[in-house]
Amino acid sequence: MKRSIVTLFTALLMVCAMGAWALAADTVRLAVTDLEGMEELQREFGSFKEKLGVLTGYDFEFFPVNNRTAAVEALKSKRVDFVLTGPAEYVVFKKRVNAEPVVGFSRPDYFGSVIVLAASGINSVPDLKGKKVAMGDVGSTSKHLAPMQILKDNGLDPLKDVKTLHVDYKVGFESLKRGDVAAFCTTNDKFLKMRSMDKQLSAGAFKVIARGPDLPNDVLVVGPHVDRDVVAKVRSAFADHADEMIAAILTGEDNQKYKGMVFLPKVKDADYNYVRAMYATIGYPQYSDFVGD
């Protein structure tokens, strides 16, 4: 009798555990690396999260992270399942967690440019040797890594041949106008926006002497611990309901950078080899650390 009771009790515990696991399996945790705090996550991606939940049948919950390193550690420890991150961050996620790309967020005209003043006499990247060049935050794909790679692709050693100044893109633009720097590097969309708003110089006062290829995309990655059926459903939501998902993501004010985007459900790891080349160019060929943290 005692043995039967113990057996029954054990069976009940297993059933309860399985039920709890099934409930937990319906909850999927989502992080975004460039946003801090639940309020900001909800404002920018609340509609996106809800739409993804409706289309997949899963209960998506936000998992706030303070920085990129915290996001990697959360994915590694299985406290978060999916992370939306940038191309520079992706290669580190892949190296440290073996994260899988699920869908790319393709943005139009997403490439880096090297801009000079038209009257400067500078006509090509080699003309910048020994001069000051302004670019964005250390570690930024489009405003640091891409410009450094553009300089290298056009014949300069960016670590030795120029003096790099890392500043806010608005400061960099004004520095170029004043002549404090010989060139300013940023993404094409930001340059065009600032040029169109400038009240001091006309559009013809600026000249782009080099541009890089369109950059790899922001990407939704998933941890290796997540069930393949969950991954397949999430990927299908983007593939089969792209218009709904785009409309949901564009409700965020900061997410207007994605206007005109398409989703790329067939994104693959090799698409980010150009980013790996950028890391090697700045002296980080291991791809295992976030530059600038």
Identify the helix (H) or strand (E) that includes residue 53.
Answer: helix 38-56
User: What's the CA dihedral at 278, 281, 287, 290 to 10 degrees?
Assistant: -80
Residue 292's pLDDT band, with cuts at 50, 70 and 90, is confident
Q: Are 75 and 224 in contact (CB under 8 A)?
A: no
Q: How many CA atoms lie within 13 Å of 24's alpha carbon, on the beta-carbon side?
A: 12
What are the start-end ranges of the E strands in the chain? Answer: 27-32, 59-62, 82-85, 100-106, 112-117, 132-135, 163-166, 183-187, 206-211, 218-222, 262-264
Window from 7-11, 41-45, 150-154, 235-239 with minimum mean pLDDT = 7-11
107-133 tens-digit pLDDT: 888 999 999 999 999 999 999 999 999
Q: Are 106 and 217 in contact (CB under 8 A)?
A: yes
Rounded CA gap, 68 and 35, in Å? 10
203-232 tens-digit pLDDT: 999 999 999 999 999 999 999 999 999 999
Q: Which of 264, 256, 234 is nearest to 51 (CA)?
A: 234
Residue 291's pLDDT band, with cuts at 50, 70 and 90, is confident
Structure tokens that stand for 228 in this block = 């393949």
Q: Are 175 and 184 in contact (CB under 8 A)?
A: yes
- Tell me, what's the pLDDT at 14? 42
Residue 201 DSSP label: S
The span from the first CA to the last CA of the chain, in angstroms, equals: 63
Window from 7-21, 36-50, 238-252 with minimum mean pLDDT = 7-21
Tell whether the model's pLDDT for residue 13 goes beyond 50.
no
- Tell me, what's the pLDDT at 191? 94
Q: What is the chain's mean pLDDT, rounded? A: 90
Judged on CB neighbours under 10 Å (0-12, 13-18, 19+), 219 is: buried
User: What's the CA dihedral at 42, 45, 47, 48 to 10 degrees?
Assistant: -150
The full set of domains in the chain, from first to last, is 27-108+216-287 (3.40.190.10), 112-211 (3.40.190.10)
Rounded CA gap, 75 and 69, in Å? 10
Reduced to 3 states (helix: H, G, I; strand: E, B; else coil), residue 207 is strand
The letter for the amino acid at 148 is: M
What integer is the mean pLDDT of 101-105?
A: 97
Q: Are 28 and 61 in contact (CB under 8 A)?
A: yes
